Structure 1
Amino acid sequence: MSRLESLVLRNVLLTGTLPSYITELQSLQKLDLSFNNLTGQIPSALFNMDSLTYLFLGNNSLSGPIPSRKSETLQTIDISYNMLSGNLPSWINSDLNLNFVANNFELNSSSSRLLPGLECLQRSFACNRNSPRYANFSIKCGGPRMMSNGIVFEAENQTLGAAGFNVTSAQNWAVSNVGLFADRQNQLYVQNTLAQVTRTTTPELYQTSRLSPGSLRYYGLGLKNGLYTVNLFFAETAFSDQSTRSWRSLGRRIFDVYIQGTRQLRDFEISKEAGGVERAIVKNFTANVTDNHLEIHLFWAGKGTCCTPEQGYYGPSISAINVVPNFIPTVSGIPPGTHEGKNQTGFIVGITVPIVFVALILVFVIIYIKRRKKDDDEEVFIGIGPRPNTFSYAELKTATEDFSPSKKLGEGGFGPVFKGTLSDGRVVAVKQLSVASHHGRDQFITEIATISAVQHRNLVQLYGCCIEGNRRLLVYEYLENKSLDQTLFGHSGLHLDWPTRFNICLSVARGLAYLHEESRPRIVHRDVKASNILLDAEMCPKISDFGLAKLYDDKKTHISTRVAGTIGYLAPEYAMRGHLTEKADVFGFGVVALEILCGRPNTDTTLQIDRIYLLEWAWNLYENDQSLNLVDPTLAEFNKTEAFRVLGVALLCTQASPSMRPLMSRVVAMLAGDIEVSTVTSKPSYLTDYDFKDITGTFMSEETQTSMASSTSDNTMKSNNNAVTVTDPGPSPVNVSGFGDILAEGR
């Protein structure tokens, strides 16, 4: 017990006082005894344990003062919903994560400055009590201020953390959060998505949602007493569709909903109620406000899943809240400080009404003129289902300082990329497409909308696009550490140790597996290489430029032939025959995996002749039992088992015949150690008479199907005589009857 680091006894009906022996657990870092029936005072020793970092004692019946001293390690404290009293201790500061809501503290100007709004959320809920000012409020949970269906939803996008609260400056509503995600780092406790949520006319309302791993409360303050309708907006955007039959779709988010302390929904599951993921559902309730105070409580009772699709996906999630009265309100709803006396009301109304009327006419005239002056760029959106986010050219020009050379991040086959800062503060990467798409604008927008909807932690997020005249620009998330090739082969000053390299390799495999087998539509990247793998601030890799090849006329891209790719990473069947399946990406991944292992590019003419070509050198060492000589000599240490695993997978992925290459889902399993790496017994032959026909690929381009259909049986027999001996990694687990949903060349 002395080595115990985490003790969680949440919501288990504990009674009595806090036991003293807890303070003897000197390795304890997290203690959660919330939602029980504990009484008595908080022992001072509990706040002064050497290793304790997270302390959750909320929703008990603890009394007395807060300990006057605490250790430096204790950074997150939840003591909300108790009977604590007295003055706040001097150690309180704004750098701590504190939730002291619903107690009986004596507050002064100093404490109000350090914990602004706490006076509104004590047990008396004193703000505007008995003097109501409001009769409605609307909140965009986890997101910025926005208007939807004529309703202005106020922003609620501050950092709450594991224990925090926030009260609006108008003191009309507040939010409180408690809980620590066990294995998922999400400091903002917000879920972002670009998925086009269905079953709603306003999908943008669901692009953010507030998350909580435990208890999430929203409060209406200073409300006029009476009956209200509470509208709660939900959409599940963290899990995959169950129709994919993927383990990622098995996640279940289950929580309870309380209104004014009464449980209204038990074991509420968003996707089940909505009929699937990325579908909107609005739940309506009637609430009786009797003391100018409304409380909406979303509570995780420990049900559902915790680790699907990734660690830490559980607990409440909500996109928006709208509360309206069931009566004709007699309060204005104007924030405090804007009233100027009843005797001025008539004058104000008399002046305001005609001004507003004239202003509205002017606004409509201006809008009409602007619409008439626009060309048909906007018409492209008519009839398109999921509409991508769009930016004006002027907005992106300002963000990049007129595409200043100092903002240029690089230039690839599709055009230059610039760093920019949007008006909302987001740092982005703006890609100027150097050649106009051969598609019409409507198809361009459709393809961009499709790409925007494809999201995974190892894929670069596409925020939206700009289409004005002949201009085509794409707006991506900005990745701080640039590309993998710059880090591995350039002069970035970054050094990748072995754990980081192995994680990059595994994460890239996961991203490709998602593109090939999970996304809708499924996507062949066609240009998997180190320069198309970007690294964020935490060195998490993200694949870029997926789906872009379809936007271009093959004669106008960075490759002079109809093959979109880069020499050194091209699969032989794709380079020589134009035969495209997902196995072309598998080949490119194999080359990248070798580069990560060796710390050198696939071709280096400065080396001695037997080492110029990485694949050839790797096979020579492998056949002579000298595989470890491949490992980057700059690595001080590395895991031999993992290194052999990466090498085996790389050699398997770069087999000449695509049917001998594994699917990326099997690559992930092999790298993770879930299954053995298939044995490679023969060096591949990249000869022109080799048969590259792939019968195990789950999908291919139409031009590939046509070329395969026209192949003669004689050619097939000749190719079969040249087959190498490789352990078959297994057939595809997905049976695809059609290829209409493939985002690839020739569609």
Structure 2
Amino acid sequence: MREMSTLSHQHHHVLVLQLILLLPLLHLVVPGTPAAAVKFSDVLASGRNVSDGDVLVSPGGSFTLGFFSPAGATTRRRYLGIWFSVSPDAAVHWVANRDHALNDTSGTLTLTDAGVLLLLDGSGKVVWSSSTTAPPSATTSAAARLLDSGNLVVHGQGSGTALWQSFDYPTNTLLPGMKIGKNRWTGAEWYLLSWRSPADPSPGSYRYVTDGDEALPENVVLDGNGTEVYRTGVWNGRRFNGVPEMASFADMFSFQLTVSPGEVTYGYVAKAGAPFSRVVVTDDGVVRRLVWDAATRAWKTFFQAPGDSCDSYAKCGAFGLCDSNAGATSICRCVKGFSPASPAEWSMREYSGGCRRDVALDCSTDGFAVLRGVKLPDTRNASVDMGVKLDECRARCVANCSCVAYAAADLSGGGCIMWTKPFVDLRFIDNGQDIYQRLAKSETGNLT
């Protein structure tokens, strides 16, 4: 009995120490939470609940799940979310009930024996639920666990397979280990959807998606009408062609682009020792990569797009070339062998009409001029063959009278992209790639 008493006494001290360590954390990250938050665990067992004021904390303390009110909100709407525990601005990366805010602090999260998470209001009405297609026998006595990755995962008893996980239902944030893209077999898609405003996590107008129907995927931002407003440029084997900044933080993260019969997805993994990070699409359609600086206790912006006027999709129209280093009145110009389709519009800085060819082509005598250091144009009107090298790519373009340009698909010179229609969204960029455009022989006299 004395030994049991001693063990109980030691266990009591451990719990008290955990409570003391976590209380300051709660004070930082749970805006609007009642002071009497008492539940600290990474697991929610079936039949139990998390009430407003209680939290789940991942084993290493990296992430917290609980109820919150957005900073700056004018009403006391309550949401169930997961946020970075270290962040004093309560950086929420996932919200369960973004479509159905609670009006008071009576909300409760519970888990059924079938492995379904239910968010209930004070009257017992379900305002949000997860889902599972697993057979009942596999989900008896299920448990939900908040991991140090920020992922909330539901497992059945004795099952190593996740019945449901929050990473499959992203909101506006991409974390290491998550992915966006498409399951080609089921048609399921994963994408980031912005908040309506910084104080309102309900669905906003901008989506950040992996456009993966082509052999060379890229990430794009779409507005509420489905109109493309920004693209990263295609994957070139190491990074997205239009995001040279990726090379500067490759020591922290490994970028993962998966193209297979089953899926086309993009994600990233944090390397050992890397700080906390997140990729966020904001309510005004800006994509930011944010990295936590522990020394200043602040999020640092490592990348932001659109970053300048040339990042606006198809800024200079067909066969237009954007140069952010040019003067404000000459940011757009036409590629070699082309002139503005409407000089009057261009004089008014309206470039969307693009450019038209100065001299008609003659398929048998045409040549090619190289344009170096660019973000390659949109490839949706292009053909891609990853099985050939640049020399073969050129030969194919020469033989196809409809081919207007070609380029290597990756930085090693492998793969072939051929454009047979007017190309758009071409711009100069640091560490860009080369594109070879078809021109009439008479225009330069010495074409390659």
TM-score (ref. length: structure 1)? 0.20
Higher strand residue share: 2
Higher relative contact order (CA 8 A, sep 6+): 2
Bigger-Rg structure (1/2): 1
TM-score (ref. length: structure 2)? 0.30
